Amino acid sequence: MVDANAAPGDWDGSVVLRDDLSKSLSTPLWREFLQACHLGLPCTSAVHAGELETWISPDGTTQHCIDYVAVDLALMDSGTFSSTVEDFDLGHAQWDHTATRFS
């Protein structure tokens, strides 16, 4: 498990499958981890439905994609649905993170 708080970055054809995603300072660390562990991000694939943003800044002015379900690259094609989970109660008073799912 890693808490990189990183944007996914550019398309690479295996880990990240979209080319319109942002980069952050921690993106290289996050991508290195994913590649070393042979993991991909289903939220960047065609099976993802809805918004990608999973974190809202404390002042509510910006949203970012920094929380993920990472899946073994061999299993990426077996999934049929990815999304954020808007109705999942994380148990804290403020709403800053949104859970994600993949099935």
pTM for the model = 0.84
For the stretch 28-48, pLDDT in tens is: 999 999 999 999 999 999 999
Contact call for residues 32 and 39 (beta carbons, < 8 A): no
Residues of the chain above pLDDT 90, percent: 56
For the stretch 52-76, pLDDT in tens is: 888 888 888 988 888 889 999 999 9
Contact call for residues 44 and 51 (beta carbons, < 8 A): no
Average model confidence (pLDDT) across the chain: 87
Contact call for residues 37 and 56 (beta carbons, < 8 A): no
Beta pairing partners, 55: 64, 97
Segments making up each domain of the chain, as ranges: 27-102
